[in-house]
C-alpha cells in the first residue's frame, strides 16, 4: 500500500513545469501519504514536523489563512468578553 502511494509522489517530483497543476498534484499526493504516515504517529522516530499536511499552494496563501484564523480568534475572544461582562 505504501509503495502504491509513493510512486505518484515520486513521479510528481520528477517532473516540474512550474505549473500550479503540478504543484497541486504534489500537494495531493503528499497529503495522501501523510495520512498513511499518521498511523505511526506514536512510534519512536516519528517526525511530526516532517509529516505535516500541506493546505496552500504558496506562502501568501498560508499567510492569508493565518490572518483569517487570527481574526476569527479575536472575534471569538471579543464575544466571550462581552458575554462575561453581561454576566457581571
| pLDDT tens for each residue of 4-34 | 767 877 887 787 888 888 888 888 988 988 8
Reading the block at residue 57, the C-alpha cell is: 499552494
Distance, in Å, from the CA atom of 14 to the CA atom of 71, rounded to the nearest integer, reads 39
Q: Is 31 helix (H, G, I), strand (E, B) or coil?
A: helix
CA R_g for the chain: 19
Condensed to tens digits (0 to 9), the pLDDT of residues 40-77 reads: 999 999 888 888 888 888 889 889 988 999 999 999 99
- Sign of the Cα torsion 54, 57, 62, 68 reads negative
- How is residue 47 written as a grid cell? 517526525
- Every domain of the chain and the residues it spans: 1-54, 55-88
**Backbone conformation region of residue 54, classed left if phi is above 0, alpha if psi is from -120 to 50, else beta:** beta
Amino acid at each position: 500500500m505504501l509503495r502504491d502511494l509513493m510512486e505518484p509522489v515520486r513521479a510528481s517530483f520528477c517532473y516540474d513545469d512550474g505549473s500550479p497543476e503540478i504543484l497541486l498534484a504534489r500537494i495531493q499526493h503528499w497529503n495522501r501519504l501523510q495520512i498513511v504516515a499518521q498511523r505511526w504517529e506514536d512510534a519512536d522516530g516519528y517526525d511530526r514536523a516532517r509529516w505535516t499536511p500541506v493546505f496552500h499552494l504558496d506562502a501568501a496563501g498560508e499567510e492569508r489563512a493565518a490572518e483569517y484564523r487570527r481574526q476569527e480568534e479575536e472575534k471569538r475572544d471579543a464575544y466571550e468578553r462581552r458575554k462575561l461582562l453581561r454576566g457581571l
